[in-house]
Chain A
Amino acid sequence: MKKIVDKVLEKYPAKTFKTRKKHIIVKDDSYEIPQIEANTRTIPGIITNRGCCYAGCKGVVVGPIKDMVHIVHGPIGCSYYAWGTRRNKAKAEDGEDNFIQYCFSTDMQESDIVFGGEKKLRQAIKEAMDLFNPKAISISATCPVGLIGDDINAVAAEAEKEYGIQVLAFNCEGYKGVSQSAGHHIANNNFIKNVIGKGERKYDKKWNINLLGEYNIGGDTWEIERILKKIGYNVVATLTGDGSIENIRNAHKANLNLVQCHRSINYIAEMIETKYGIPWVKVNFIGIDATIQTLRDMAKIYDDPELTKRTEEVIAEEVAAIEGELVYLKQRLEGKTAFLYVGGSRSHHYQNLLATFGVETVLSGYEFAHRDDYEGRDVIPTIKPDADSKNIEELKVEKDEENYRIILSEERYEKLKKDVPSLGNYAGLIKESKNNNIIIDDLNHYETETFIKVLKPDMFFSGIKDKYAVQKMGVMSKQLHSYDYSGPYAGFKGAVIFAKDVLAGVYTPGWRYVTPPWKTEPLIEGTIEKEGAAC
């Protein structure tokens, strides 16, 4: 496998070769987990799949909050492309607002670039207030905003005073950091500083949890919540799929944080723990085994016989309901191989789900994950921020004396960690990858095409930009960002929907017709015999 990798890299100019080779490793069980380079700047002209800081902030973390008006301060494109394209589903709560179908922008013009756009932004906020009277507003900065020096924080503070609602400003200019990742961090910081901890609700249930880093793509959050509620958990807040600002304000009232997408939300998980004493656990609701493991981990943390019993009952019920289908789906998919290339978390999570159906992942990678997502959180102390990311604020939070609670004593925490390794920790993608698997960071078009030609996977899971190029190569290609407009894929029911979608992709009769019959059958007159439909 190492030789294959070297061969692929040969084509690169010297400087590009030197950089790219550090982003590719081959898993070797006989060694320790090797170091991978990640979260560094994108090579210009390489045809990356990466997006920008704005996409990570507004598009991913902030945008799904349904009862806020999200104003994008910039020319029209940024707002337009994030309009309905990420399938973070939301449904209005009784009598509450839902703005998810809307796209709001200050639509900056040349004069705003020349004379500044603050005045227009102020007016846009006024108009949003007049028209919608929302509970809260967000302002997201785009590339030119930082350059021309518009002070969106001042405008937000002013508007808060004037209208008496919360106005959150996000300095998520597209050029910050090296990818979407910077935007996650910026969004996390703002939520910790200004939102979480501001709520005054009371919760009388005992198993109060937050679901962090879960964006309800195709209804994933709803499937996860269905299972959790069935067991008896109370979901205080979800960040941020189908999210509401008031729920997020009360997130400090929960007693356990579940982290689904580590990359996008680990900052909040950490800071909540420091500030309010709430422990977090890395969960995975993608895949049957992973979901069961997660539910059992949660029960161990709470250590309540009633909860443990209910957990096992629900697992038994849910598994029984899909068992027959699982057997059939596995029979049809077993032995196939897959490539997984998604943003910052799914490339790991879906390996488990694919394994349930006997599909092996031979190559995986992230667009914008950091070394800890690959190698596990233990390496965090060794990660040095480079010049491109050092301007992203590292927020230091202190214990909130009023609201801090000891939920797990130090002694119990240490004991639990042995039983539940994912308590306050994440082991990363590489550990669970199989021997000889290739792991690639910021996989680009050339590498995608070449590795497909060499390794000939049966299926490729990635995004919209890859999908059709891969399909043209004759390889089944499914999107693991948008789920190809299907879903949910999370939880028990989602696992079945996912496998059925994969099955449809692999077995659709269309594949049989790629080569025209006259390319394979003899065409000399008089020799053709009717063979009928052989396959």
Chain B
Amino acid sequence: MLDKTPKELYERKALRINPAKTCQPIGAMYAALGIHKCLPHSHGSQGCCSYHRMQLTRHFKDPIMASTSSFTEGSSVFGGGSNLKTAIKNVFSIYEPDMIAVHTTCLSETIGDDLRTIISQAESEVPEGKYVIHANTPSYVGSHITGFSNMIKGAVTYLSQNTGEANGKINVLPGFISPGDMREIKRILNVMDIPFIMLPDTSEVVDTPMTGTFEMYPKGGTKIKDIIDAGNSNYTLALGKFSSEAGAVALEKKCKVPMEVMNIPLGIEAVDKFITELSKITGKEVPYEIEEERGQLVDLMLDSHSYFFGKKVAVFGDPDTVISLTEFIISLGMIPKYVVTGTPGDSFDKEIGEMLEKAGIKDSIVKNAGDLFELHQWIKNEPVDLLIGNTYGKYIAKAEDIPFVRFGFPILDRFAHHYFPTTGYKGAIRLVEMIANAIMDRIDRDAEDEDFELVM
């Protein structure tokens, strides 16, 4: 497995091997799926759209719909305006969404297609009461997380309005997380009796039930009227700097909604901060139900501590979730030895560096814009006890025989993960269980018969 990866480190400047990121449009497609009755549209050649639908489908094991401008060589030279106009006409007459959310690719960005102009020229093709919005998502900038962020920004920029009638709600931009996580965050808000608007919300869109009927536009997704109304909210909580800050800033600029960026509420400290902040902003008390969950998590952390203490962990994935996860790993008494994201951005290194310093952890490597080839090389030089990351980590886990926890996006080789949260105290409890199981399964596997324990 991965036999061609040498132990000797080698600094690369140009060759990316086994990336820990993918490109913008898939993030924008995911964000657009979190809007009710919205069809994502990829303005580029159709290969991108098929690939992005493919990867999301493989992660969620659910239908992922999107249309494309299907560029040909001609449109690549002369611009894709007529392709998009034809697409808008076809999509509204055949597939009847309430909104088309257009994103771009490296092709239309390199050409310099002016989407705002093209969309305004296509106005006559847009039925009454329907919308076409767009976000520029050049694949050669940032990562899928950047694309997600750009689409949220696009949605609020196009739609949100401050009409002067306060709605008494708070906006929650949950970041690039799974529908299971969005459900959990909504549950917390409901338990705390806080009225809110969440954007996007992919629950009930990419985790739909089997009923014998295919719904092209499932029940879920943020309603367009709520995105408009987000301009009238009291406050915006942007969860995850990389995936949510831009949307919140745009909303503040356009509609004067005050905002705050927080870490994704994953692990005990980030959830504590999230709950505390919710209580502060709204003046609502934290109900016992939440305290009980927290208490159960702490109980679990104490019960299981001996399996975690001092263990070295390699973790990779998307910056917002990895930052929170790293903090949680420290809270469990483990050592985040290698922390990698493929998404570029120095604030990743900085924030994690501060956490490590605060915990007195030295000799860890933290890297943004890194990749799995280098991570594997580090592991070859100084091994770890646990690997946490998306499905592509399974190759390293097998090659180096490391216990492995699947976390983040994409998970292509397991079922049901997207039904369950990793956010909130509930999600933290699940993470502890997953991590403990991986470590304890390994202890069982490796134990001599005479050391094989009944009770652990």
Contacts and interface: CB of A to CB of B under 8 A. Distances in A.
Contact of A75 (B1, B41, B71, B139): B139
B45 A107 contact: no
Interface in B55-100: 55, 57-58, 61-76, 83-84, 86-91, 93-95
Given A42-B46, A142-B106, A388-B74, A107 B16 contact: yes
Interface in A86-143: 92, 97-99, 101-110, 112-113, 120-124, 126-128, 130-132, 142-143
A143 B140 contact: no
B380 interface: no
Given A102-B4, A388-B74, A77 B90 contact: no
Contacts of B88: 45
B124 interface: no
Given A45-B41, A51-B47, A75-B140, A81 B72 contact: no
A143 B3 CA distance: 31
A175 B213 contact: no
A468 B61 contact: yes
A399 interface: no
B19 A12 contact: no
Nearest to A183: B47
Nearest to B16: A107
Interface string A72-90: 0011111111011100000
Among A49, A122, A143, A144, chain B packs the most CB atoms within 10 A around the CB of A143
B14 A127 contact: yes
A388 B47 contact: no
A387 interface: yes
B15 A81 contact: no
A120 B10 contact: no
Interface stretch (A52-60, A230-238, A249-257): A52-60
A143 B74 contact: no
Contacts of A387: 74
A55 B3 CA distance: 26
B361 interface: no
A132 B3 CA distance: 11
B455 interface: no
Contacts of A99: 4
B288 interface: no
B12 to A, nearest CB: 5
Interface residues of A, number: 89
A446 interface: yes
Given A102-B4, A109-B140, A110-B138, A13 B68 contact: no
A143 B13 contact: no
Interface stretch (B21-29, B241-249, B308-316): B21-29
Contacts of A178: 72
A12 B47 contact: no
A46 interface: yes
Interface stretch (A271-279, A300-308, A469-477): A469-477
A76 B14 contact: no
A457 B71 CA distance: 33
Given A75-B139, A81-B55, A106 B106 contact: no
A473 B211 CA distance: 8
A23 interface: no
A147 interface: yes
Contact of A143 (B44, B95, B213, B215): B44
Interface in B347-398: 373, 392, 395
A104 B141 contact: no
Among B19, B44, B89, B392, chain A packs the most CB atoms within 10 A around the CB of B19
A218 interface: no
B272 to A, nearest CB: 35
Contacts of A405: none
A7 interface: no
Contacts of A113: 106, 110, 140
Contacts of A76: 16, 19, 21-23, 139, 143, 342
Nearest to B96: A11
Interface of A: 11-13, 16, 41-55, 71, 74-81, 83-85, 92, 97-99, 101-110, 112-113, 120-124, 126-128, 130-132, 142-144, 146-148, 173-178, 387-388, 391, 445-446, 449, 463-465, 467-474, 514-515
Nearest 10 Cβ contacts at the A-B interface: A52-B47, A45-B87, A77-B23, A45-B90, A123-B14, A107-B16, A44-B87, A81-B51, A75-B139, A143-B107
